[in-house]
Amino acid sequence: MTAPPIKLRSPAELLAVIPHLLGFQPQHAIVVMALRDNKINLTERIDLPTPDRVEEVAEALVRHVRRETAEAALLVGYEDTAGQSRPLIEALTERLRAQGVSIRDRLVVHDGRWRSLDCDRPSCCPLEGSPLPPPADVASTIAEFIGQGSSPLPDRQTLAAQLEEGSAAQDVADLIRRSGEVPATVADSRARHRLADVWARVLTRSDGRLAVADAAVALQSLKEASTRDGLAAVLIPNGLDLNVLPEETQALVDACSGAIRTAEEEHEVDTTPGAVKSRLIDLCRHATDEHAAPVLTLLATYSWWHGDGALARVALDRALRCDRNYRLAQLLTLMLDEGIRPDRP
Separation between Cα atoms, residue 93 and residue 98, nearest integer Å: 8
pLDDT at 86: 97
pLDDT at 39: 86
pLDDT band at 230 (very low <50, low <70, confident <90, very high): very high
Among candidates 199, 218, 205, 344, which has minimal Cα distance to 271?
A: 205
Which residue would you say has higher pLDDT here, 109 or 265? 109
Which residue would you say has higher pLDDT here, 44 or 147? 44
Is pLDDT of 6 > 70?
A: no
pLDDT at 263: 87
Sheet of 39-47: strands edge to edge?
39-47, 29-36, 72-79, 102-110, 113-116, 130-131
pLDDT band at 271 (very low <50, low <70, confident <90, very high): confident
Length of the chain: 345
Is pLDDT of 183 > 70?
A: no
DSSP bridge pairs for 75: 32, 106
Rounded mean pLDDT, 190-198: 90
pLDDT at 3: 53
Instruction: Go through the domains of the chain in sequence order and give each one's CATH number.
Output: 11-154 (3.40.140), 169-337 (no CATH)
Measured from the Cβ of residue 284, the count of other Cβ atoms closer than 10 Å reads: 25
Rounded mean pLDDT, 224-245: 91
DSSP bridge pairs for 114: 109, 130
Of the given ranges (76-80, 122-126, 253-257, 326-330), which has the lowest mean pLDDT?
Answer: 122-126
Burial annotation 257-271 (CB, 10 A radius, 16+ → b, else e)? bebbeebeeeeeeee
Looking at every residue in the chain, the average pLDDT score rounds to 89
Rounded mean pLDDT, 293-320: 96
pLDDT band at 205 (very low <50, low <70, confident <90, very high): confident
Q: What is the pLDDT of residues 100-123, one digit of tens each?
A: 999 999 999 999 999 999 887 777
Rounded mean pLDDT, 270-276: 87
Which residue would you say has higher pLDDT here, 239 or 310? 310
Which residue would you say has higher pLDDT here, 72 or 241? 72
Helices within the chain (DSSP H only): 11-22, 54-67, 86-98, 139-147, 156-161, 169-178, 189-204, 212-221, 225-235, 247-266, 273-285, 289-305, 309-322, 327-337
Is pLDDT of 140 > 90?
A: no
Determine phi and psi for 127, rounding to 5 degrees. -55, -35
Which residue would you say has higher pLDDT here, 303 or 152? 303
**What's the alpha-carbon Rg for the chain, to the nearest Å?**
22
Among candidates 301, 338, 339, 273, which has minimal Cα distance to 4?
A: 273
Separation between Cα atoms, residue 114 and residue 12, nearest integer Å: 8
Q: How far is CA 15 from the centre of its chain?
A: 19
Percent of the chain scored above 90 by pLDDT?
63
Separation between Cα atoms, residue 203 and residue 235, nearest integer Å: 9
Q: What is the DSSP string of 217-269?
A: HHHHHTTSHHHHHHHHHHHSTTSS-GGGS-HHHHHHHHHHHHHHHHHHHHS--
In this structure, which amino acid lies at residue 141? Answer: T
pLDDT at 338: 85
pLDDT at 265: 86
Of the given ranges (30-44, 125-139, 195-209, 292-306), which has the lowest mean pLDDT?
Answer: 125-139
